[in-house]
Amino acid sequence: MNAEYVIQLLNPTPRHRTMKILRGKPLNGDRSIRSTQDVSMRLPPYSWRNVLFDSSGNPHSSMVRSIDDIDIEEDLASSGTISFDNNRTTRIRVDGVNVSGMAGDLASREKFTSAASRVYANLFHDPDHYLGGRMVMTQNSFLRSQRDGRPGLYSPAALNLTIEERPDSLYQNVKSGYLEILECVGDGYNSDDALQLRISNNSPERVRFCIPKGAMFEQSEWTGNQNLVVPDEQWYEIGPGEEQSFPVPAMCANATGGSPSRDRMNLTPFLFNDLGESFSSQDRFWSSSDGANRNARL
């Protein structure tokens, strides 16, 4: 693609911001060439980025790898389990599912959900305290199964996920009991407040904690709405005995799901790994998480 027109996006603020070029934006002096689509890009503080357009007004999209590029090392029978102690790319078969009719099918969802409770039995699960992980594993497996043409539950590495264990993270602080999540709500996506947290500090000390880049938040129930992912590392502080609310920036993690609308969410221990500018824009994240065609459906 030859770059004919350039629009510069500038973030002069001390915070990450999502900057947009709207469809129809004039690109040349006589306004005869306009952007053919919306462009959204997340910029770090005090930074800028050029967005390139061709002679027809189409924005350039850099090549971003997808989770579908991750090869599966081992296929196991439906009686197998997933280990969370290694980085093997494993798939365990889910029986009784017709892969061609999975999209939006309630019976297929139920088979995946039932199988996941056994296959992911070793994953810490405490939804009463807004800690999860099983749902995002199940749904991302459901989506990749449609794209691969083979119904199965995948290991974290096969879904481009790693488990975070840093002691200063929100997940580990909640799991250990120092902090408590009183409310975790998803409302919209690709915005600086798509996630809204209300947190209590149960410890006698002031706690400084982070939500790492790539942190995954899952829907508490399978409604067909999107999970969310945090595109940049976020830091917060809360004093001893205090209760505070925190807005958290987040992108949509599933291109074909509905937008969260005051949905109850769970924090998971999983981080989505950057596959090459995966977090530079919403569209590029979808290219990493959902593949090029985005034809799978929750």
- The Cα–Cα gap between 207 and 197 comes to 15
Mean pLDDT, range 171-182, rounded to an integer: 97
pTM metric for this prediction: 0.81
- The Cα–Cα gap between 298 and 296 comes to 7
17 in Cβ contact with 42 (< 8 Å):
yes
Q: How many CB atoms lie within 10 A of CB 201?
A: 21
pLDDT, position 281: 87
- The Cα–Cα gap between 132 and 270 comes to 10
215 in Cβ contact with 242 (< 8 Å):
no
Whether residue 63 is predicted with pLDDT greater than 50 in this model: the reply is: no
10 Å CB burial of residue 267 (0-12, 13-18, 19+) is: buried
Q: Which of 72-81, 206-215, 282-291 has the lowest mean pLDDT?
A: 282-291
SS3 (DSSP) at 74:
strand
**Residues 181-210 pLDDT 10s:** 999 999 999 999 999 999 999 999 999 999
140 in Cβ contact with 174 (< 8 Å):
no
Whether residue 59 is predicted with pLDDT greater than 90 in this model: the reply is: no
Extents of the domains making up the chain: 5-53, 67-159, 161-290
At residue 280, φ and ψ (nearest 5 deg) are -75, -20
**Residues 91-150 pLDDT 10s:** 999 999 999 889 889 999 999 999 999 999 999 999 999 999 999 999 999 999 999 999
pLDDT, position 2: 54
